[in-house]
Amino acid sequence: MAKLTIHDMNVRGKRVLLRVDYNCPLDENGKVSDDSRIRATLPTLKYILDNKGKLVLMTHLGRPKGVDEKLRLDPVAERLEQLLERPVKKLTDCVGPEVEKAVTKMKEGEIFLLENLRFHPGEEGNEDAFARKLAILGEVYVNDAFGASHRAHASVVGVGRYLKAGAGLCMKKEIEGLGKLVETPEKPFVVILGGAKVSDKIPVIENLLNRAQVLLVGGAMAYTFLKAQGKEVGGSKVEYDRLDTATNLLRRAEQRKVEVLLPVDHLVADKIDPKARIRIEVGQIPEGWIGVDLGPKTVRAFEEKIATAKSVLWNGPMGIFEYAKFAMGTQAVAKALAKSQAFRVVGGGDTAAAVYKFGLADQMSHVSTGGGASLEFFEGKDLPGVAALSNR
């Protein structure tokens, strides 16, 4: 890897200012309901602690406009403390004289968590003055927040102007794992795309059509492609302003000899509700019914293509998997990937949530921690947070 990593840095006795992505969902009781992003950073945290460093952690949570009591990081500190089995001190702010005073007294092995970065407008504005205040808190800067690295924010980009910037172990794994598929995927390379909108995936499809041999399309976005082919899709979600785009993408795939598989049968429901009436429709979907998942013939076709792959990228669920009734297609794809011998990368966001939900995350080659960041990576964009890392 061309960028500096934590393995190239001396952290002994130093305050390591570590950007993490602990933007975790909270339940109705204000507790962390999904700690996968915290767990992903534990190897980096343990490496720093084992090497006698002092940990100053910074993250955002949610999208506050100013201070929001419901988005303070106390639940995150509590969960991190449980996972590390050692004390984590949560500070009441992320910059200022009191914070500076506290960190200068840190001892080796101590862990401080700064308060929510987004309580300050300087974070999202990438204000130089705010970045400088953050940089004062560390002697070494490490970015382990891949999921936030598509944002040119002060804690992601600005701090690197004042401190040597290295990648944490989670960030390193993301760059290497995702980079392998973008740069040198072993063939056949199968791309599986789902989710709600074609518009969210257009740049990804355009970029990967130059690399993939097979494209499997599911989720609500499949109905825009099917409608573009002149097929009836009932009340299924369609982006009518993207029909021409879908047609052009299918034409480009044909020109590049990329095999595209769209659903040939569907699980349909009379409404989006766990108590809805459901049935299987082959071919077109009649009025009054909504496509909510892949049908069994499509699942078998997708499984067969996955079984032939040497490299796989999956981004986007195949149906409304949050409801057990509509989760069969997404679960079947996850199981097919778990059985595969290919190099398998799961994009972040809902796709990562699905493989964790089905208990199959540890059977994938790599599960990304970043939804938006992984999409932009596969679009071929340079992520600001990665670009800001120091070169070796």
Q: Give the residue numbers marked as catalytic.
A: 37, 197, 349, 372
Residue 109 to residues 135, 171, 277, Cα–Cα distance (Å):
20, 22, 57
Interatomic CA distance for residues 374 and 388, integer angstroms = 17
Residue 312 to residues 34, 271, 325, Cα–Cα distance (Å):
25, 33, 26
Length of the chain: 392
What is the separation of C-alpha 118 from the centre of its chain, rounded to a whole number of angstroms? 20
Interatomic CA distance for residues 155 and 123, integer angstroms = 7
- Residue 83 contacts residue 66 (beta carbons within 8 Å): no
DSSP string over 341-380: -SEEEE-STHHHHHHHHTT-GGGSSEE-S-HHHHHHHHTT
DSSP character at residue 233: B
Helix (H) / strand (E) containing 192:
strand 189-193
According to DSSP, the residues that pair with 193 across neighbouring strands are 217, 315
Q: Is 54 helix (H, G, I), strand (E, B) or coil?
A: strand
Of 161, 101, 151, 103, which Cα lies nearest the Cα of 131? 161
One-letter amino acid of 14 = K
According to DSSP, the residues that pair with 261 across neighbouring strands are 216
- Residue 224 contacts residue 379 (beta carbons within 8 Å): no
- Residue 167 contacts residue 37 (beta carbons within 8 Å): no
Of 158, 119, 118, 121, which Cα lies nearest the Cα of 138? 158
- Residue 177 contacts residue 185 (beta carbons within 8 Å): no
